[in-house]
Amino acid sequence: MFIKQIPFLKAERLTSRSAFNVLLTLVFSVTIASCVPDVDDNNSTNFDRSELLNNYSDNIVIPAYEEYVASTNNLLTVINDFALSPADNSKLLTCIEQLKIVSLKWQLASLFDFGPASDYALLEFTNSYPTSTGDIELSIGAENWIAGQASNIDNVGLPALDYLLNEEGAMDKLNANPARVSHLVRQAEFLNEQGELVLETWQSSYQSNFVSMTGTEMGSSIGAILNAFNRVFEANIRKQKLGLPSGVSTFSGNPLPGHVEAKYANYWSIDLLYEALLSIEKVYMGNSSSSNPIDMEGVGFDDYLISLGDEAFGQGLNNDIIAQIQSSKEAVLSLDDPLSEFVLTNQETCLSVYSELQALVVLFKVDMMSSLGVLITYQDNDGD
């Protein structure tokens, strides 16, 4: 059985509600979704799920990891070069520029937090912020420091590199302390190694398993990629990039400017949020990472919904999702960097943008998952 239409969940209505009503709607909607019976996996549609999985594997997931790993390798190269002459400001700027490239590439790779990425806790080790600057300082010069321990999740990865390269006085601190430069190198090495491990596992063994599991039941590849897609969008994009910094997702309602992404770079937060939305669009549409526009369109979840017919839960839902993605992108462009200052002076605007992202959460997590007969297997315990 499908939920063909839940009128009060339509995106255009959500965007005009208060944040409080939006949150109540989501809680109620998830309760409804959890009660939807499994769709008959064989009779619901003649859609070729094998073609979809091959497109995601060959043209989206692996290329995303390849581009991300190539960028981390380039970052390690320029940081090693900087380590040879830490008084060279131009080399430091090169490191900073490359770190932004890595951060942008990460936005797409981060959406695939299942399989090898989950096994290696890639998401947590790569981009858990705000970073613990105190722990970073304690790690500098510690010869027995091991990056991959659970206790280090909040002091490694992109946020740690952002701190070491972009904090106030970073150049002077690095130039004056060889141990600080050595720790910078260790951080870049770990970032690169983690990405390489996930990519190699996909290429050597996981890819064949991924494309072979064509069902929609729990444990299937479609279930894995859609649950990761929803969870990362809901928690790591909507909430972490905007909800917490703006105060929308805090109990007090007060902004947390120190929780912005790329806090020390100061002017990257909006770029990274916008890139994350472009990545969401790319994955939903099944578009490849090819630079050739002709090669970009592939079989995606949009096509899966369209295959269900000219119904509210099929073509109609796809139209709603595409429109809401566009509306969300436009809304994000109404924000200004530094976001850490904007959330303090323009909280109402942040609330409006958050509501647009929230509308996408409902369309993806409730409507799309119900239409495709895929169960949500993760739990959001933070009350939103």
**pLDDT tens-digit series, residues 230-250:** 999 999 999 999 999 999 999
Residue with tokens 């895929």: 374
80: tokens are: 């090693």
Looking at the structure of the chain, the number of domains it has is 2
Give me the residue label for tokens 């909507």. 238
Same domain, 48 and 117: no
- 49 and 65 assigned to the same domain: no
| Residue partners of 86: CB distance under 8 A and separation at least 6 | 92, 174, 175, 178, 181
Question: What mean pLDDT value characterizes the chain?
Answer: 89
Please tell me whether residues 34 and 65 are part of one structural domain. Answer: no
Q: What is the mean pLDDT of residues 208-216?
A: 96
Confidence label for 200 from pLDDT (cuts 50, 70 and 90)? very high
Answer yes or no: are the C-beta atoms of 155 and 135 closer than 8 Å.
Answer: yes
106 and 164 part of one domain? yes
pLDDT for position 295? 55
* Domain match, 73 and 178 both: yes
Task: Examine the domain organization and report whether 232 and 322 are in the same domain.
Answer: yes
Task: Assess whether pLDDT exceeds 80 at residue 286.
Answer: yes
Q: How confident is the model at residue 12 (pLDDT cuts 50, 70, 90)?
A: very low
Among residues 205, 235, 255, which one ends one of the domains?
Answer: 205
In a domain, 222, yes or no: yes
DSSP class of residue 206 equals I
Residue 30 lies in a domain: yes
Residue 295 CA neighbour count, 13 Å, CB half = 9
- Higher pLDDT residue, 128 or 9? 128
Query: Distances in Å between the alpha carbon of 180 and those of 140, 184, 192, 289?
Result: 6, 6, 19, 36
Question: Per the domain annotation, does 384 fall within a domain?
Answer: no
Cα–Cα distance between 48 and 35 in angstroms, integer? 27
Please report the pLDDT score of residue 382 as a whole number: 53
- Specify burial of residue 185 (Cβ count, 10 A radius: 0-12, 13-18, 19+): middle
Give, in order, the Cα–Cα distances in Å from 297 to each of 48, 56, 289, 301: 16, 11, 10, 12
Determine the structural domain holding residue 168 and report its residue range: 61-205
pLDDT at 288: 80
Chain CA centroid to CA 171, Å:
30
Which of 181, 205, 229 marks a domain boundary?
205
Determine, yes or no, domain membership for 210. Answer: no
How far apart CA 50 and CA 287 sit, in angstroms, is: 16
Does 201 share its domain with 223?
no
* Pair 84, 156 in one domain: yes
Tell me the pLDDT tens digit for each residue of 363-378. Answer: 999 999 999 999 999 9
**Is 50 exceeded by the pLDDT of residue 316?**
yes
**pLDDT exceeds cutoff 60 at 1:** no
pLDDT > 50? residue 30:
no
The answer to pTM > 0.85 is yes
Question: Is pLDDT at 100 greater than 80 in this prediction?
Answer: yes
Return the H-helix or E-strand segment holding 349. Answer: helix 347-362
Amino acid of residue 163: Y
pLDDT digit string, tens, across residues 135-170: 999 999 999 999 999 999 999 999 999 999 999 999
Residues whose CB falls within 8 Å of the CB of residue 177, separated by 6 or more in sequence, listed in order: 140
359 and 226 belong to one structural domain: yes
Count Cβ atoms below 10 Å from residue 44 Cβ, excluding itself: 16
Do 231 and 185 fall within a single domain? Answer: no
Confidence of residue 46 (pLDDT cuts 50, 70, 90): confident
Asked if pLDDT for residue 27 goes beyond 50, the answer is no
Residues 24 and 89 in one domain: no
Last residue of a domain, one of 174, 205, 236: 205
**Side chain identity at residue 350, one-letter code:** C
Closest of 236, 243, 270 to residue 354, by C-alpha: 243
- Give the pLDDT of residue 289: 64
What distance in Å separates the CA atoms of residue 75 and residue 100, rounded to the nearest whole number? 10
Contact 122, 198 (CB under 8 A): yes
pLDDT for the residue numbered 18: 35
What distance in Å separates the CA atoms of residue 261 and residue 339, rounded to the nearest whole number?
Answer: 9
Q: What is the pLDDT of residue 96?
A: 98
Q: Is the pLDDT of residue 285 over 80?
A: yes
Burial annotation 245-284 (CB, 10 A radius, 16+ → b, else e): bbbbbeeeeebbbebbbbbbbbebbbbbbbbbbebbbbbb
- Shared domain for 366 and 232, answered yes or no, is yes
d(CA 29, CA 359): 12
381 domain-assigned: no
Q: Tell whether 148 is covered by a domain.
A: yes
Give residue 42's pLDDT: 37
Q: Is 153 helix (H, G, I), strand (E, B) or coil?
A: helix
Asked whether residue 278 is domain-assigned, the answer is: yes
- Nearest-CA neighbor of 169 among 89, 234, 258? 89
More confident residue, 69 or 32: 69
Q: Which residue has the higher pLDDT, 97 or 17?
A: 97
CA proximity to 22, closest of 368, 355, 363, 369 = 355
Enumerate residues 6+ apart whose C-beta is below 8 A from 170.
Answer: 92, 164
* Long-range Cβ contacts of 304-311 (<8 Å, 24+ apart): 304/45, 304/47, 304/49, 304/52, 304/372, 305/368, 305/371, 305/372, 307/45, 307/46, 307/47, 308/2, 308/44, 308/45, 308/371, 311/4
Considering the domain boundaries, does residue 211 fall inside one? Answer: no
